[in-house]
Amino acid sequence: MTRVIHVAKVKAKTKAKVAVTESNMRKAAARLLPNALVSTEMSFVQRELGASATQEELDAKIIAVRALPWASIVEPEREAAS
């Protein structure tokens, strides 16, 4: 008699992506930081992460933005065309 052994297929777990919105950034900052992010920091996080990221990526970027020098966070002003 032949035995059939079933092997369970294990799917690689993908981490869920969340939208990088102002609301989600405010909630993450409230959990992780003693005070809220300012608009320049929020813009930087959105530029760096794009439209969506994992919660871990969002949390890491929110913590990291506080350690960065201000000059690297601020988006350079564009020259007005004459």
> What is the pLDDT, as a whole number, of residue 14?
80
Cα–Cα distances in angstroms (integers) from residue 71 to residues 30, 50, 74, in the given order: 24, 20, 6
Which positions of the chain have pLDDT values less than 70? 1, 7, 10, 80-82
Strand (E) positions, 1-82? 17-19, 52-54
* Domain residue extents for the chain: 17-73
Query: Is 29 within 8 Å of 59 (Cβ atoms)?
Result: no
> What is the pLDDT, as a whole number, of residue 25?
96
Q: What is the third-level CATH fold of 17-73? A: Recoverin; domain 1 (1.10.238)
